[in-house]
């Protein structure tokens, strides 16, 4: 019998190869439950450097870009027009394009060249030039560049705060704990759209119970989102989406100009505004025009820049399954984060939607942004169990808090969070739950029972929460949306019922809308209501001893994990 015949089992109908036990075991590993694809450049299923990407070029005449990336002005689509006229530093464009891309990539990682010395050139690059520069860099080099190019020196973090039941008491309690853990921003969304005002109110109130100064948003339909902000129930927005091809824009009945008009609506009412994009969205819509994901994302980044908003949430986001399925896709996601910083925008660097069954791969996806530091390392760390995450689950959730804190401690990196004591978490959760109980009672909304307060104080997720009368809640939520109640009414109720600190925090957040200081690039607000941004906390990294260095106070916070023993007590 031949060697091949010995490895085969035959019966009357089928012939099967005998399998390796090693490979059978490997097939059972979580990573092999993920989806992977080979590259398909003709349809845009390629992360970087597609053979169909244009070569970078630019021609300027009388202060106007008349040719860009191989297209004459008369052949521009509306994205090209918008980028050429509003997003590029025209005065420096030809100089920036004349620099060899390898040489420029070297400047990005060179610690002897400061961010401020090259930002006027990176903001003068065309989409193809930005893509070509990052194509020259490996993952480590992109991390080095990201550490230097992010706008704000101090890194930060952002979390999701949702409930599969849209339970207002649970959302308030989770928001309070998230704020105590260090998140600079928290966002909620809804299971049922009409719950939006309750979720926004609960999150805003809860976050200020945990720590004053936390920014909040409610990710819903854009007009509703703006109205919630005008009522003082949110402080920022980031779900205005932009795309890299004209056909995808048209599918949404949008243009870059309509996005800019909407952005001005938020800014004029004192709301921080960030756009959303991310690799893979054009492929997902079947309209990538054969271009690489990073090239198309560079167009999204420049549209965002042209609209005048403060920053961009990118890094795959809801389409992360697409770039993560192709070779070099996670490197491409890091590249799009880097491009965002190169054009001097705040970057909320993804790490939000879950994409892999493998914990090792989940950590590997987050590692570059965590170690390099970004303005907001996550744009949606799930602050509750993933089964409650109405954004479709996050790469990290509340069960990963201790892992995340230990990794910060192991590597001495600042990922924006800190360990907290159990009793402190219980205290702020209880304050938030009792406060929203009072607010609901005083506004005549459906009663929040003591049982609900108790469940939210000590609970883990919505499985621990009593069910509510959703019909009654939705009726009251509509009244909140359609009536004259604003954030100021909430402040008054809290102050009248002994929640003085919380009332003051809520009032201070409303004041931010008037001063507008947090409308600067990469702005966040600390517990003393000081605004730090890319303006007053400029990133000056130039190698060891420069840039962000953890203070002793901050290091003591990160070191103090719950289960470390004290040698003096042994």
Take residue 316 and report the two structure tokens written for it.
């795959």
Which H or E element spans position 297? Answer: helix 293-307
Q: Is the pLDDT of residue 530 over 70?
A: yes
Indicate the pLDDT class of residue 7, thresholds 50, 70 and 90: very low
Take residue 147 and report the two structure tokens written for it.
């550490």
pLDDT value of position 17: 87
Separation CA 372–CA 141 (nearest Å): 10
Separation CA 317–CA 354 (nearest Å): 9
Would you name the residues annotated as active-site residues?
158, 160, 187, 238, 313, 352, 379
Separation CA 157–CA 119 (nearest Å): 24
pLDDT value of position 531: 97
pLDDT value of position 1: 42
Q: How large is the average pLDDT for residues 51-79?
A: 98
Separation CA 90–CA 59 (nearest Å): 10
Separation CA 109–CA 18 (nearest Å): 51
Scored b (16 or more CB within 10 A) or e, 514-526 reads eeebbbbbbbbbe
Separation CA 282–CA 248 (nearest Å): 7
Separation CA 188–CA 380 (nearest Å): 9
Angle between helices 329-342 and 359-372 (to 10 degrees): 20
Q: How many helices (H) and strands (E) does the chain have?
A: 24, 15
Q: How large is the average pLDDT for residues 378-406?
A: 96
Any idea which residue has 């009593």 for tokens? 466
* C-alpha distances out from residue 85 to 79, 99, 253, 442, Å: 10, 22, 21, 52
Question: 470 near 446, Cβ under 8 Å?
Answer: no
235-255 confidence digits (pLDDT tens): 999 888 999 999 999 998 899
Question: 39 near 45, Cβ under 8 Å?
Answer: yes
Q: How large is the average pLDDT for residues 549-562?
A: 96
Q: Is the pLDDT of residue 179 over 70?
A: yes
Nearest residue to 214 via CA among 189, 236, 195: 236
Indicate the pLDDT class of residue 15, thresholds 50, 70 and 90: low
Q: Is the pLDDT of residue 300 over 90?
A: yes
Indicate the pLDDT class of residue 432, thresholds 50, 70 and 90: very high
Q: Spell out where 53-157 has E strands.
A: 58-61, 64-68, 71-72
Q: How large is the average pLDDT for residues 37-49?
A: 97
Lowest mean pLDDT among 3-17, 110-124, 170-184: 3-17
Q: List the beta bridge partners of residue 272.
A: 236
Q: How large is the average pLDDT for residues 145-159?
A: 98
Separation CA 196–CA 179 (nearest Å): 20
What is the 3-state secondary structure of 353-412?
A: ECCCCCHHHHHHHHHHHHHHCCCECCEEEECCCHHHCCCCCECCCHHHHHHHHHHHHHHC
Q: Is the pLDDT of residue 36 over 80?
A: yes
Separation CA 46–CA 328 (nearest Å): 9
Q: How large is the average pLDDT for residues 284-288?
A: 94
Lowest mean pLDDT among 16-20, 213-217, 298-302: 16-20
pLDDT value of position 13: 55
Q: Is the pLDDT of residue 34 over 70?
A: yes
Any idea which residue has 């930005």 for tokens? 130
Separation CA 147–CA 499 (nearest Å): 41
pLDDT value of position 223: 87
Name, in order, each residue with C-beta under 8 angstroms of 182's C-beta and a sequence gap of 6 or more: 157, 416, 417, 418
Q: Are strands 379-382 and 71-72 parallel, antiparallel or unpaired?
A: unpaired
Percent of the chain with pLDDT over 90: 93
Indicate the pLDDT class of residue 176, thresholds 50, 70 and 90: very high
Separation CA 323–CA 326 (nearest Å): 6
Q: List the beta bridge partners of residue 379.
A: 158
Q: Is the pLDDT of residue 570 over 80?
A: yes
Q: How large is the average pLDDT for residues 199-217?
A: 98
Question: 433 near 202, Cβ under 8 Å?
Answer: no
Name, in order, each residue with C-beta under 8 angstroms of 414's C-beta and a sequence gap of 6 or more: 154, 155, 373, 408, 548, 550, 554, 558
71-126 confidence digits (pLDDT tens): 999 999 999 999 999 999 999 999 999 999 999 999 999 999 999 999 999 999 99
Nearest residue to 311 via CA among 368, 355, 266, 255: 266
Look over the chain and give the mean of its residue pLDDT values, rounded to a whole number.
Answer: 95
Nearest residue to 291 via CA among 50, 549, 20: 50
């Amino acid at each position: 019998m031949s060697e091949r015949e010995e490895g085969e089992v035959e019966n009357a109908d089928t012939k099967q190869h005998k399998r390796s036990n090693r490979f059978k075991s490997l097939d059972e590993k979580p990573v092999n439950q993920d989806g992977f694809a080979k590259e398909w450049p003709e349809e845009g299923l390629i992360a970087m450097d597609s053979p169909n990407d244009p070569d970078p070029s630019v021609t300027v005449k009388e202060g106007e870009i008349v040719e860009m990336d191989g297209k004459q002005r008369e052949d521009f689509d509306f994205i090209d027009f918008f980028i050429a006229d509003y997003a590029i530093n025209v005065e420096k464009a030809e100089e920036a394009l004349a620099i060899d891309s390898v040489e420029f990539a070297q400047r990005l990682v060179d610690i002897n060249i400061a961010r401020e010395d090259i930002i006027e050139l990176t903001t003068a690059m065309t989409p193809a030039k930005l893509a070509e520069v990052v194509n020259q860099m490996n993952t480590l080099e992109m991390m080095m560049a990201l550490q230097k190019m992010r706008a704000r020196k101090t890194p930060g973090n952002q979390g999701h705060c949702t409930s599969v039941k849209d339970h207002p008491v649970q959302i308030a309690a989770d928001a309070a704990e998230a704020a105590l853990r260090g998140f600079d921003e928290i966002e909620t969304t809804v299971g049922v759209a009409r719950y939006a005002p309750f979720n926004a109110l609960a999150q805003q109130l809860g976050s200020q119970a945990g720590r004053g100064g936390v920014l909040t948003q409610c990710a819903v339909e854009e007009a509703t989102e703006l109205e919630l902000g005008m009522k003082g129930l949110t402080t920022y927005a980031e779900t205005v989406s932009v795309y890299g091809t004209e056909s995808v824009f048209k599918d949404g009945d949008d243009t870059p100009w309509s996005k800019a008009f909407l952005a001005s609506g938020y800014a004029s009412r004192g709301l921080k505004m960030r756009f959303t994009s991310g690799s893979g969205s054009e492929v997902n819509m079947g309209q990538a025009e054969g271009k690489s994901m990073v090239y198309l994302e560079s167009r999204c980044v420049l549209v965002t820049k042209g609209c005048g908003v403060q920053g961009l949430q990118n890094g795959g986001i809801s389409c992360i399954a697409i770039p993560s399925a192709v070779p070099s896709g996670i490197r491409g996601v890091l590249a799009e984060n880097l491009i965002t910083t190169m054009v001097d925008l705040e970057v909320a660097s993804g790490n939000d939607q879950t994409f892999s069954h493998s914990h090792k791969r989940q950590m590997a996806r987050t590692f570059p942004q965590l170690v390099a530091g970004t303005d907001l390392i996550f744009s949606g760390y799930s602050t509750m169990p993933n089964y409650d995450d109405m954004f479709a689950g996050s790469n990290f959730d509340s069960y990963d808090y201790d892992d995340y804190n230990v990794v910060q401690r192991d590597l001495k990196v600042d990922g924006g969070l800190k360990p907290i004591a159990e009793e402190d978490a219980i205290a702020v959760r209880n304050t938030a739950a009792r406060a929203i109980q009072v607010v609901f009672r005083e506004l005549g909304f459906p009663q929040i029972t003591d049982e609900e307060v108790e469940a939210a104080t000590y609970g883990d997720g919505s499985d621990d929460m009593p069910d509510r009368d959703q019909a009654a809640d939705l009726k009251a939520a509509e009244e909140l949306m359609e009536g004259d109640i604003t954030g100021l009414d909430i402040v008054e109720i809290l102050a009248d019922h002994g929640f003085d600190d919380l009332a003051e925090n809520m009032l201070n957040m409303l004041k931010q809308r008037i001063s507008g200081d947090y409308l600067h690039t990469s702005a966040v607000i600390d517990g003393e209501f000081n605004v730090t941004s890319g303006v007053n906390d400029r990133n000056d990294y130039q190698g060891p001893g420069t840039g962000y260095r953890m203070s002793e106070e901050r290091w003591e916070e990160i070191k103090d994990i719950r289960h470390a023993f004290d040698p003096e007590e042994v």
